[in-house]
Amino acid sequence: MTATFKVACVQSRATPDHTRSVAEAIDLATQAAQVGAQMIALPEAFDCLVPTCEELLDYVRPEDSHAAVLACAAFARSHAVWLLAGSVSVLAEHGRPANRSLLFAPDGNVAARYDKIHMFDVDLPNGDTFRESDFYEAGRRAVVTPLPWGNLGLSICYDVRFPYLHRALAGHGAAMIAAPAAFSSMTGPLHWEPLLRARAIETGCFVVAPAQCGHHYGARHSHGHSLIVDPWGCVLAEAGDEPSFIVADLDLAEVARFRAAIPSLAPDRAFAIESAA
């Protein structure tokens, strides 16, 4: 197993025009493949962002007839790369839409699936309200999957605020964690980078975080600034505010070096908690 490889994050801007959204993301992924990326990660909801549940229900399809899923499979196969479709809105087996990450192997087959566990149901100080649970059925299963270089743990956007999920992924063998996102432009400047760096440091994992950017529809904007972070919390690559891609070489031997120096994944200590009088 070779421990070093080149990873890319695509930063795109999805809109209700799903055909155009997918085409623009795939074009950036093509550029990343041309500079030697062996694994390419797309953002959350790279295929389509819509303002209403009705529009989402009109758009979603099962995986086997979903245009974005088929485009990703064809891309991975034609470029012989690993492709993480950060998330796609699919009609899941239970009959409701799911916000689903799909990892495609170089033969175009799906190697892993992860449905977002933590729904973004918030009322932000600027007046923005999001109720992701109105759109999607929450996932119930964390996922760690093998790659040729090491194990990858899967998460999506709002999951980044829940450290226990990432600790569980690392505890089950993840050396890298994917965090595709469409992170709010309101909270992004304050929270995006600190949260990702914290998750990397806490787990001793590389964190690969492709993000959406810019204006999608109405008042919805995403922060951008896709990041690749090493286990020490150092930023290896960062995008700006516009559609683009970033690349970095990941040496997974660094995971073992970090964890030997700072063994914070050792078994948790039992403790009691008291409320002060």
User: Residue 135 has what pLDDT?
Assistant: 85
Rounded to an integer, the average pLDDT of 60-68 is 96
pLDDT in tens, 244-256: 999 999 999 999 9
CA distance 56 to 112: 23
Per the CB < 8 A criterion, the answer to whether 170 and 110 are in contact is no
d(CA 64, CA 59): 14
The H or E element spanning position 255 is helix 253-261
Which of the two residues, 55 and 125, has the higher pLDDT score?
Answer: 55
Q: Lowest mean pLDDT: which of 52-66, 91-105, 114-128?
A: 114-128
Contact 43, 30 (CB under 8 A): no
Helix (H, G, I), strand (E, B), or coil: what is residue 37? coil
Whether pLDDT at 36 is above 80: yes
The reported pLDDT for the residue numbered 95 is 87
pLDDT in tens, 136-156: 999 999 999 999 999 999 999
Instruction: Catalogue all structural domains in the chain, each as residue range(s) with its CATH number.
Output: 4-261 (3.60.110.10)
Span 52-73, average pLDDT? 95
The whole-angstrom separation of Cα 28 and Cα 246 is 10
Check residue 131 and give its pLDDT. 83
CA angle 6, 49, 53 (to 5 degrees): 140
Question: Which whole number is the average pLDDT over 6-16?
Answer: 97
Average model confidence (pLDDT) for the chain?
A: 94
Is residue 234 within 8 A of residue 204, CB to CB? The reply is no
Residue 258 CB neighbours (<10 A)? 21
Q: Give the residue among 64, 83, 87 at the shortest CA–CA distance from 14.
A: 87
Task: Record the tokens describing residue 65, joined without a space.
Answer: 């007839």
Give the H or E element holding residue 207.
strand 206-209
Q: Which helix (H) or strand (E) holds 277?
A: none
3-class SS shares of the chain: helix, strand, coil, % to 5: 30, 30, 40
What is the rounded distance in angstroms from the CA atom of residue 174 to the CA atom of residue 261?
A: 18
The secondary structure of 96-145, three-state, reads CEEEEEEEECCCCCEEEEEECCCCCEEECCCCCEEEHHHHCCCCCCCCEE
Point out the residues that are catalytic.
44, 116, 157
98-126 pLDDT, tens digit per residue, is 999 999 999 999 999 999 999 888 787 87
**Strand-pair partners of 85:** 102
Residue with tokens 């995403």: 222
pLDDT of residue 78: 98
DSSP string for residues in 42-53: PPTTTT---SSH
